[in-house]
Chains A and B, each alone.
Chain A
C-alpha cells in the first residue's frame, strides 16, 4: 500500500519539472542562507562562510542530482530520453530510415499477406466440425476423368460404408438444378439432393428449423427443403415467416423446414438442399456413378487405413460384379486437401517466394545497418569519451532499432491489410464463390502477431549487433585518426558477402517469377482452337416436370436457337453441354471402335464426350479439319453420327482413315448405338489444368438431347447488349425457364484462370521487389566503399590516374560482386526450375532467354547502382581528399 503510494508519487514526480525544480532550488538556497548566517555568527568572513556552507552541503548540483533521482523514476526517464534520442537520430537520416522501414515492411508484409491467404484457403476452407476427419470417398474407373470427377455408384457406396468399418458417419449427395418460381417468373437455384445424415456429418446445425429426417429419404415424402442464409436474404428479403412456408421448385411444392447459418454453403455454391430420395431400383444401381460421398473417419482411424479397407472391398466388388465393377477401385482423400491438389504447389511457391523476399529484406537491412554503424563510430567514440557507459549505449541503440523495426512492423501491417483486401476484392464473386474459404481471407491475427514478433526480433537483434560493435570502438584511436579506414577490413568482406547473397536470391526469385509469369501467359493462351470474342454465354436448365420427354426438350431448344439467331446483331446461336473454360471437366466416357479387338474394361479407350448443336463449331469458330459438321438433318430419326477432335483422330487412326468408321460409347458389350464418324474438328482445350489436348467426341444434340445446356450466341458487337433481348426470348418461349451464368466467353476465360493470374501477378510483384532490394544493396555497399576510399582515390588521382580509371575501379567492384552472385545463382536457379516444373502445374521450363534476360538485367542494375557512387568518386578533388586525411 505504502509502496504503491511511493510509486505513484514518484511517477507524478516525473512531471511538472519546472515547478519542482524551482522549489528544490529555493529549499537548497534557504538551507545555504541559514548555514551562512550561523557561520557569520561564528565569526567567519562572508566568503569563508559561504564556502564552508557549500562544502558541508556537498555541492549544490550533486545534491540536486541525488534528490532528482529520488523524486522521479530514473529508469523510465532514461527510456523516454532514449526514445526521444532515437526519434531524433532516425529523423536526422530520413533516407536510411525510409529505406530500412520499406525494406522490412515489404519483407514482413509479403509474408503476412501470403500466410493469411494460405491459412484461410488451405487450413480453414470450411468451418465444419473436426474437419480433419472428413474425407471424400469415390470410385476410380482407371481413366483420367479430371480432378473434380469423384463419383460413386449408390449400391457401391452402401457396400463401402457398411464394409469398411472406418467411418463414424457417411453421407451421399447429388447436384440438382432448380427453377424457383417467384411471382410470374423463375429464378435458377443451384441445389443438392442430400442424405438425411448430410448436415449432421458436417456438424453444422441450421440457424432456424431442423435438418432432414430419415423418413424424408423416401420418394414422395421428400417435399421439404432447407435453404441457405443467402437464399433467404436475397430471394425472400430475409422474410421471418419463410420457415414453414411452401416454395415452388421445378413446379413442385416444397416446405421450407430449415434455414442454414450465414456463411454455410456446401458443396459451394449451394443455396438449397432437398432430401436424396432414391427408389429401391436406384439404390441398387452399380453401373452409374451418380452420387458423391463424404465420410467421417472413426476415432483412431487414419486416411491410409480407411483407404486400405476401401481398397479391399472394392477388389471384392470387382470379382463379385465384373459386369459393372471391373477395373473400379475406391479412393479416399481428406476433404480439406481435395480442392487444392493443383493449387497447393502454387501456394507453396508463393510462400517460398515470400520467404525469399524476407531473406532479401533482412540481408538488405543488415547491410544498411553496417553502413550506419561505420558512419557512427565517431559519435560512439565521443559519447564513450564523455562518459557514457556501455550498458547505457547499448540501451540507446536497442531502443533506436526497436523504434525502427516497430515503425517497419506497423507499415508491414498496413501493407498486409491492404494487400489482403486487394487480393480479396480483385476477383469477381462469380469465381470466388467456388473457392471455399475465400471470404475467410483476412489479415490473419496469427499472421499479424507473427509480423509484430518478427519486427521486434529484427529490432532487438540489430540493436544488440550495433551495441556489441559500439562496445568495441576504442574512443582514443577513433578520435585520434580521421575515423575512416578503421576496422573496415572484416566488415567490408561481410557486407560484400551480403551483397553477393542478395544478388543470388534476386536471381532465383526473378527466375521463379519469370517462369511463373510465362506459364500464366501460356495458360491464358491455352484456350486456342476457338475465338472467344463477341460470344454471349448463358446456361439453361429445363425443369424435368414440364420437359419430361426428348421431343419437348428439343422443341424448346430448336425454337430458342431459331429465335435468338434472328435477333438483330446476332450472328449465330449454338448449344453445347460444357463450354470451354467452364472450370468443369467434360464427362469422360469409354468407347469402342468397330472392328477392333475388344478390350478389358480397365484398358478401354476413353474420350471426353460433348453434345452440341450443329452451329456450335461455327459459333465458336472451331475449324473443321476433315469431313463435315453435322446438321439439323442428323436428327433422332437419322443414322447416328459423331464428330471427333483432331487429337482423337490422330491417336486412334494414325493412318488418317477415321472418316466413315463407326464407334459406340461404352465397352464392347454396351447397348449404345453405333455412330459414324463424319468429321474431324480442331482440338479445343477445355480447362486450363488439362495438360494436353484430350480426345473428344461430339454428338449432335438432336440425337442425344438433355435438359441442361450451355447456350452461346455470337454477336456482331458487344455481346452483353443482347442480355435483355435473350431474357425476353426465353420468357416468351417458356416463362418457367430461367437463365443462369450469364456472361461472355471472354469473361468466362478470364474468370477461369483468375487464381492462376493472381499467382502470376504476386510472383511478378515479388520479382520486382527483389530486384529493387538487391539494387539498393549494391548501391549501399558501393556508395559506402567509395566514401571510405575517397582519400585513396584522391591519392590515385593526384598521382595521375584518369577519372576513367576510377570509374573502372568502382564499376569493377560492382561487376565483381554481381558476377559472383550470378555465378552462384544460375545453377541454383536451374535446380529450382527443374524442381518447380516437376510439381507445379503450368510452370514452363526455363528458356535461355529468361535466364539471359534476368542475368543481364541484374548486371545492368548493378552498373546503374554503381555508377552514382562512381561519378562521385571521379569528381573527388585530390587536394580536398588529401587535406581531409
Chain B
C-alpha cells in the first residue's frame, strides 16, 4: 500500500501544480473538482486526500496559501503556485513525459529495432 500511495501522492501533486498553473489561484474544492473533471474518476473516492497533498506542497514551498473570497462571496483558502513551484512543475512534467515515453516504447510489442 505504501508504494502505491507514494505514486498516487506524486501524481496528485503534479496534477495540483498543473491545475494551479492553468487556472491560477484556486481553493481546495475547486482544485478537487478540476482534477475530477480532467481525470475522470481518479478522485472519485474522496476529496479529503487532497488536503494532506496540498499541505505537503506548501511545506515544500511549491505553493502558498491565503484566505480569500469565492465567486459567491464565501470565505475560502486559496492556493497559488510559487516561483519555485513553477520550476518544480516544469521539471516534474518533463520527468513524467520521459518516463511515460520510455514505458510506452517498452510496453508496445513488436517494434523493437534489431
Contact = CB atoms under 8 A, between A and B. Distances in A.
Nearest to B56: A70
Contacts of A30: 27, 29, 70, 74-77
A31 B46 contact: no
B61 interface: yes
Contacts of B108: none
A323 interface: no
27 contacts: A2-B60, A6-B56, A6-B59, A6-B60, A9-B59, A10-B59, A26-B75, A26-B77, A30-B29, A30-B70, A31-B27, A31-B32, A34-B29, A34-B30, A34-B70, A37-B74, A56-B46, A57-B48, A58-B45, A58-B47, A58-B48, A58-B49, A63-B46, A66-B52, A69-B52, A70-B55, A70-B56
Identify whether the interface residues of A are mostly helix, strand, loop, or mixed. helix
Contacts of B52: 66-67, 69-70
B47 A31 contact: yes
B29 A5 contact: no
Contacts of A816: none
B78 to A, nearest CB: 10
A59 interface: yes
B51 interface: yes
Contacts of A5: 59-61
Nearest to B61: A5
A15 to B, nearest CB: 15
A63 B48 CA distance: 5
B27 to A, nearest CB: 7
Interface string B20-58: 000000011110110000000000011111011001100
A38 B47 CA distance: 15
Interface residues of A, number: 28
Size class of the contact patch on chain B: 20 to 34
Contacts of A26: 75, 77
Nearest to A33: B74
A842 B50 CA distance: 82
A66 B49 contact: yes
Contact of A2 (B29, B48, B61, B76): B61
Given A2-B60, A34-B70, A35-B29, A71 B46 contact: no
Contact of B27 (A34, A55, A67): A34
A27 interface: yes
Identify whether the interface residues of B are mostly helix, strand, loop, or mixed. mixed
B114 interface: no
Nearest to B52: A70
Interface string B55-72: 110011100000000101
Contacts of A37: 72, 74
A27 B74 CA distance: 11
B75 to A, nearest CB: 6
Nearest to A5: B61
A237 B107 CA distance: 94
B29 A31 contact: yes
Nearest to A63: B48
A62 interface: yes
Interface in A17-45: 23, 26-28, 30-31, 33-35, 37-38
Interface of A: 2, 5-6, 9-10, 23, 26-28, 30-31, 33-35, 37-38, 55-59, 62-63, 66-67, 69-71
A72 to B, nearest CB: 11
Nearest to A29: B75
Given A30-B29, A31-B28, 7 more contacts: A30-B75, A30-B76, A31-B47, A34-B76, A57-B46, A63-B51, A71-B55
Contacts of B32: 31
A31 B74 CA distance: 10
A30 B27 CA distance: 9
Nearest to B58: A9
Contact of A67 (B45, B55, B75): B55
A156 B95 CA distance: 91
Nearest to B75: A30
Contacts of B70: 30, 34
Nearest to B88: A2
Contacts of B29: 30-31, 34-35
B50 to A, nearest CB: 9
Contacts of B46: 55-59, 63
Nearest to A55: B46
- 7 tightest CB-CB pairs across the interface, nearest first? A58-B46, A63-B48, A58-B48, A70-B52, A34-B29, A30-B76, A31-B29
B18 to A, nearest CB: 20
B8 to A, nearest CB: 13
Interface centre among B29, B30, B45, B55 (most CB of A within 10 A): B29
B38 to A, nearest CB: 17
Contacts of A28: 51
Contacts of B61: 2, 5
A62 B46 CA distance: 11
A723 B60 CA distance: 84
B112 to A, nearest CB: 39
B20 to A, nearest CB: 16
A388 to B, nearest CB: 21
B57 to A, nearest CB: 10
A66 B53 CA distance: 10
Contacts of B60: 2, 5-6
Contacts of B75: 26, 30
Contacts of A67: 51-52, 55
A747 B33 CA distance: 96
Contacts of A63: 46, 48, 51
Interface centre among A5, A23, A27 (most CB of B within 10 A): A27
Contacts of B30: 34
Contacts of B72: 37
A741 B72 CA distance: 102
Given A2-B61, A67-B55, A27 B48 contact: no
A70 to B, nearest CB: 4
A57 B45 CA distance: 8
Nearest to B84: A2
Interface centre among B27, B52, B61, B70 (most CB of A within 10 A): B52
Given A2-B61, A30-B75, A30-B77, A56 B56 contact: no
Contacts of B77: 23, 26-27, 30
A2 B47 CA distance: 27
A11 to B, nearest CB: 11
Given A34-B76, A57-B46, A27 B59 contact: no
Nearest to A23: B77
Nearest to A37: B72
A333 B69 CA distance: 93
Contacts of A71: 55
A549 to B, nearest CB: 99
A5 B56 CA distance: 11
A28 B28 CA distance: 9
A67 B60 CA distance: 15
A458 B103 CA distance: 56
A59 B48 contact: yes
Nearest to A70: B52
B69 to A, nearest CB: 10
Contacts of A2: 60-61
Contacts of A58: 45-49
B74 A62 contact: no
Interface string B65-98: 0000010101111000000000000000000000
B49 to A, nearest CB: 7
A70 B55 CA distance: 7
